[in-house]
């Protein structure tokens, strides 16, 4: 006769049905040791409640607001664009538009430091946090790191009673481990869900530059972003950041940024820095395909292929060559460029790391110097304020440091858009962060001084050529 499954037997125990009357010895013989049934009332009553009680006070709700005031004065270009975008106010009066966001965060320091997702507070100029005990505080943004989708807040006037959560060891997680997710889904209030680690090192999620996510089936929904993924020791092992969903709700596929990256960003903020600095390699990397793996003697695709090197870069100095396959970083295996980027980014900007490299049929180890990308020339940031297609854009001179920060695959000089303010002409004509300005009205643009001089010229038409992701685009705009 087929034996009842665990849930049925447990129900029988609780309800006093005949299925629950089997002797403990018989139960032990019937099931493997790792699936043994509870043999006492205390074991039946096991709960996550003590863990939640300890962790919940560290998780906060984060509210962000961006208030944008727009003037009534409009030039000819604004009026031309208004016909397509329709953003003029009634009677041409000044407008005030408020954008709001809602998410979660985790207290990681008794001084009031809170880690959340960058996308939760992106473009926000007013931020508040609400604690588990309903106290509310204004918070300042002390660090944004869009490349990891992390941000650090600090409560402006903490009054004590803050409960920080200890940052745990995400490297020790294994698939199948129990975890709980705590956050504020849909704004309904603090909510706890439970699940397991479904997968590790997910790299094709697309929500940040450094993709190396923990996947969990604990229910994560909109509003959980920035909340805590907690292990059974009550430690923070991840920051919930994204879900896979076709409906907007949870389908049991959620992703969290590992605690090892969270720790690096938090330590940067504790040190007073406003920006995370990461090591520069100076190499262009690509996936190892099955064909490449076969050609170099690997039994399966793994590692990253060195496809190009920048002159005088740490990669060139270390002796890396085109065609090399990097297999590991300090003994940690990397399977694709995203995994490599994550592992390398955690190494800091001092000392050295060691790459296991396959060159032809020979395996070798190369020491690689760690250091930030150099500023080979001044950025000379220019915020364009003259009437042109660039009005509202901030441009900087290119250098290895700028290219590294903005993840641009370029080795030359030039000028790149670093920021575009919302609601401005630059935003409405479609300029984007990372666009490299090649020429304006036929004149090449090599420095921000060139761009400043050109945009101060009054013309009836503007011809703008940019490089976006390696593709050259030319557009013409009215003056």
Which one of the listed residues 149, 231, 336, 450 is annotated catalytic? 149
Q: Name the token pair of 415.
A: 């000028």
- Tokens 């972003």 correspond to what residue? 225
Burial letters 422-453, b for 16+ CB under 10 A, else e: eebbbbbbebeebbbbbbbeeeebbbbebbbe
Task: Work out the burial of residue 343: count CB atoms within 10 Å of its CB; fewer than 13 is exposed, 13-18 middle, 19 or more buried.
Answer: buried
Catalytic one among 119, 198, 336, 388?
Answer: 119
How many other CB atoms are found less than 10 A from the CB of residue 373?
Answer: 22
Among candidate residues 104, 225, 313, 399, the one labeled active-site is: 225
| 225 in catalytic set | yes
Residues serving a catalytic function are: 119, 149, 225
């Amino acid at each position: 006769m087929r034996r009842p499954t665990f849930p049925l037997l447990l129900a029988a125990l609780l309800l006093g049905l005949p299925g629950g009357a089997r002797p403990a010895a018989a139960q032990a013989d019937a099931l493997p040791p790792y699936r043994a049934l509870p043999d006492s009332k205390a074991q039946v009553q096991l709960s996550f409640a003590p863990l939640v009680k300890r962790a919940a006070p560290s998780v906060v709700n984060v509210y962000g607001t961006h208030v944008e005031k727009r003037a009534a004065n409009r030039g000819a270009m604004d009026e031309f664009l208004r016909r397509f975008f329709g953003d003029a106010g009634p009677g041409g009066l000044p407008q005030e538009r408020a954008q709001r966001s809602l998410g979660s965060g985790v207290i990681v320091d008794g001084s009031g430091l809170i880690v959340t997702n960058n996308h939760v507070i992106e473009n926000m100029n007013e931020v508040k946090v609400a604690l588990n005990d309903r106290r509310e505080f204004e918070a300042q943004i002390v660090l944004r790191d869009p490349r990891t989708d992390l941000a650090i807040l600090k409560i402006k006037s903490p009054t004590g009673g803050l409960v920080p959560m200890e940052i745990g060891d995400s490297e020790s997680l294994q698939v199948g481990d129990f975890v709980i997710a705590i956050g504020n889904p849909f704004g309904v209030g603090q909510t706890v869900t439970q699940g397991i680690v479904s997968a590790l090192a997910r790299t094709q999620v697309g929500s940040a530059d450094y993709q190396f996510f923990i996947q969990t089936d604990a229910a994560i929904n909109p509003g959980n972003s920035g909340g805590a993924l907690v292990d059974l020791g009550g430690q923070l092992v991840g920051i919930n950041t994204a879900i896979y969903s076709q409906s907007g709700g949870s389908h049991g596929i959620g992703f969290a940024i590992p605690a090892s990256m969270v720790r690096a960003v938090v330590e940067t903020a504790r040190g007073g820095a406003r920006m995370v600095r990461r090591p520069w390699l100076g190499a262009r990397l690509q996936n190892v395909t099955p064909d490449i793996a076969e050609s170099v003697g690997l039994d399966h695709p793994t590692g990253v292929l060195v496809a190009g090197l920048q002159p005088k870069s740490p990669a060139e100095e270390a002796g890396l060559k085109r065609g090399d396959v990097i297999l590991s970083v300090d003994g940690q295996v990397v399977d694709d460029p995203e995994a490599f980027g994550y592992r390398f980014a955690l190494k800091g900007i001092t000392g050295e790391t060691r790459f296991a490299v396959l060159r032809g049929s020979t395996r070798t180890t190369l020491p690689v110097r760690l250091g930030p990308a150099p500023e080979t020339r001044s950025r000379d940031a220019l915020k364009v304020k003259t009437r042109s297609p660039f009005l509202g854009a901030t441009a900087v001179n290119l250098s290895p440091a700028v290219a590294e920060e903005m993840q641009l695959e370029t080795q030359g000089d030039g000028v790149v858009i670093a920021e575009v303010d919302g609601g401005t002409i630059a935003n409405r004509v479609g300029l984007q962060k990372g666009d490299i300005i090649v020429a304006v009205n036929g004149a090449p643009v090599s420095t921000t001084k060139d761009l400043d001089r050109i945009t101060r010229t009054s013309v009836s038409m503007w011809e703008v050529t940019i490089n976006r992701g390696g593709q050259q685009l030319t557009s013409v705009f009215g003056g």
